[in-house]
Structures are given as structure tokens and as C-alpha cells.
Amino acid sequence: MAFETKGKALFDQDIVFSRGVRTESDLPTLRLSEIAFAGRSNVGKSSLINALTGKLIARASNTPGRTQELNFFQVGKQFFLVDLPGYGFAAAPKEIVQTWTQLIHNYLRGRQQLKRVFLLIDSRHGLKKVDEDIMKMLDKAGVSYYIVLTKADKLKKSELDDVFQKTMLKGKEHVACYPEMLLTSSETGLGIAELRGEVYRVLEDL
């Protein structure tokens, strides 16, 4: 509960959009810790980030350019929250998808101040091959990641229990995957306080 309280205070600070990054040269030079949120398109990432922060900072846009950027939000003077483009999305032109997919991979592999990736998985579908490809890449890069199951309100308890157990078992096969997991719902608020607490814990190295 102490982490959850401190996590809430963390996100009660001012949160401002810093920049949208399309090339590695655009990455912030300010040496703040970074917490990134990644997931397939339509995983509910924008809704989760808004629920986490208590502010409407992320939006699912109909503007293609918006989805091709790494969006950096500065939280107080403490850290950057990084909203990564949804992967596995094929509606944009192929060459554009390849460009920003490579940008995501380069960022995840080489960013020293990146403290943790929260990998969002739609609880209705579980892990897909594209998710496991990202997990393998993070394993190889030695980047710690934490699986967060989204849209938990859409399933019955028995179905949730099943996808939770299957995802946990899969996670144990990956060396950089954190050995805990969260069920969340942006609609009901399930797991949001715990997620804030986990962000606080990571930033404080607790």
C-alpha cells in the first residue's frame, strides 16, 4: 500500500508532452529515467496511460503521423513516460511501418536511461507471436520488462485465470521478463494503483 500511495503522488505531479520522436537524433538529451509502454495496436495503451496518470495525455489518433512517433511525456522533474507506437499494425504504408518499427527496436535496445518496459497484452487474446518476438529482442538486449494484461473487465474470472496462468508460464521462458504480472482495466480501475506503485518502485530501485 505504501508503494501505491507514493505512486499516486508521483503521477499527481505536472505531466507535460515533451516531444514526438521519429528519429534517434530527436531523442531527449535530458538525462531523466525513462519508463516505456509498449504493446500491439488496439491493446488499450492510450486508455491505460490516461488511467495511470489520471490525465488525458495519450490519445488513439486517426492521424497516421501521430502513431509513428515515440511520444515522451515529462512527469515533474523525475522521469519521462514514453508512449511507443503500437506494433503489429499493417494499415500504414509498408516502408513507413518498417521505419518506425526499426526506431522502436533501436530505442529499446540502446537506451541506457530506460528503466523498465511495461509490455501490454490484451487479456482477450493473450500472447501473440509478435509479442514474443518483442520479448525475445528485449531478452537479448537485457532490457527488463513487466507484462500488464489489459481489458480484464472483458472476461469472466475463469477466463482471466486461464490467460493469466498461461501468460505467466510463457513469461518464465524469457530471462528479462519480470516474474510478476498485473491484471488491469482502464474501465474499472482494476490494477491501476498497483501499476503506479510498480512505476514508483522501479524508479526508486526498490
What are the grid coordinates assigned to 102, written together?
526499426
Q: Supply the pLDDT for residue 106.
A: 87
Q: Supply the pLDDT for residue 169.
A: 96
Q: Supply the pLDDT for residue 86.
A: 84
pTM assigned to the model: 0.92
Contact between residue 190 and residue 157 where contact means Cβ atoms under 8 Å apart: no
Task: Give me the tens of pLDDT residue by residue for the chain, a chain 206 residues long.
Answer: 689 999 999 999 999 999 999 888 999 999 899 999 999 888 999 999 999 999 988 875 554 444 578 999 999 999 999 999 888 765 666 776 677 778 888 898 889 999 999 999 999 999 999 899 999 999 998 999 999 999 999 999 999 999 999 999 999 999 999 999 999 999 999 999 999 999 999 999 86
CATH code of the domain in which 156 resides: 3.40.50.300
Among candidates 146, 180, 199, which has minimal Cα distance to 7?
Answer: 199
- What are the beta bridge partners of residue 66? none
For 179, residues 6+ apart whose C-beta sits below 8 A from its C-beta are 171, 172
- What does R_g of the chain's alpha carbons equal in angstroms? 16
Other beta carbons less than 10 A from residue 191's beta carbon? 22
Q: Supply the pLDDT for residue 205.
A: 87
Q: Supply the pLDDT for residue 64.
A: 42
What three-state secondary structure class fits 171? helix
Cα angle 187-192-193, degrees, rounded to a multiple of 5: 140
Q: Cα–Cα distances in Å, from 33 out to 37, 102, 124? A: 14, 22, 32
* Total number of domains in the chain: 1
Which domain range does residue 171 map to?
2-203
Q: Supply the pLDDT for residue 85.
A: 85
